[in-house]
Amino acid sequence: MREFAERTLVPIITRDMERLIYTLCGIKKPRRILEIGTAIGYSAICYGFAAPEAEITTIEVRERSVYKARANIEEAGLKDRINVIHGKAEEILPDIEGYFDIIFIDAAKGQYRKFFDLCEKNMTHDTLIISDNVLYKGMPCDDSFIDERRNKTISRRMKDYLSFLSEDPRFETSLLAIGDGVALSYFK
């Protein structure tokens, strides 16, 4: 899968991020996981193996990716525990019910705050929120890394999102330089 992703430029989690997921799931032993941004199912499968007791709900907007993800999940033998929902996260999230032990945010990089707000109703005082790619190739830290106009907006939004996560007193956040940057937040 990793080779396919590299060939087709699907931005899946890095190897070190994968290790982090195993470590966090090993400690937390999650039973319900919500993922925003499935792509071809790589990270969902990773959570599936890392958290053998978890039911995983994952949302993906691209139809072709949904098919690919479902096929990969079936091949991994995780069809019964991973549910791939096709649609825009902003439209699907309002209908998602119940609390999750882990919420993994890894879809459109400029919309993390919106995704976060939409799943706040699914967080409890035990929820770990993992936001991937928050350093966005360094752009939120240093404007000279910004290559395209579009990325300027994404970079600004990501910066705002990181400020929100670190300043809102309801959350405890730490930022790790793993993969493309990951924020671990805990709903206190």
Does the footprint of Mg ion cover residue 101 (CB under 5 A)?
no
Residue 107, contacted partner among ligand SAH, Mg ion, none, CB below 5-8 A by kind: ligand SAH
Residue 133, contacted partner among ligand SAH, Mg ion, none, CB below 5-8 A by kind: Mg ion
Residue 101, contacted partner among Mg ion, ligand SAH, none, CB below 5-8 A by kind: none
Distant-in-sequence, close-in-space partners of 188: CB < 8 Å, separation ≥ 6: 125, 169, 170, 171, 172
Tokens of 180: 């493309």
Contact residues for ligand SAH, defined by CB under 6 A: 11-13, 37, 39, 42-43, 59-62, 65, 88-90, 106-108
Of 117-146, binders to Mg ion (CB under 5 A) are 132-133
Residue 160, contacted partner among Mg ion, ligand SAH, none, CB below 5-8 A by kind: none
Number of residues that bind Mg ion (CB under 5 A): 3
Tell me, letter by letter, the H, E, C secondary structure of 27-68.
HHCCCEEEEECCCCCHHHHHHHHHCCCCEEEEEECCHHHHHH
